Structure 1
Amino acid sequence: MMMAFTSVLYLVFGEEKTWVLGLVSSLANIPVLVFAVLQFKPIFDISYSTYDPAIFGKRGDRIIV
């Protein structure tokens, strides 16, 4: 979708109005950046809970028999 969007923008505004390309491209990147920023914390939490060093450590003094 992004490739098609970029191609249509270039075909419509390519030679005549280059400022429109920059403006629309900048505005189109805002949702992508917001998505990336909002997904950083869940990915960090998942990797921390999976690879946390404490999961292999000793949790108590009881011996499981």
Structure 2
Amino acid sequence: MWVVFEVQGPIPEAIVSTWKQIFSEWFPSHRYEHAEIASLEEYMGAYPNPSCKIWVPIK
């Protein structure tokens, strides 16, 4: 199973901020655990304004 987070804001700062929120806010407030396999970052669109999603495996 995966949870997908949409990154909001300028890249790369927004990616770093989203990762911090995932582990400091999302995981502590949900019953899921990280599945301990690789997470994915999906980039769409062209530089300088790509959009990004972070896929995190959960169990």
TM-score for the superposition, normalised by structure 1: 0.30
Structure with greater proportional strand content: 2
Structure with greater proportional helix content: 1
TM-score for the superposition, normalised by structure 2: 0.32
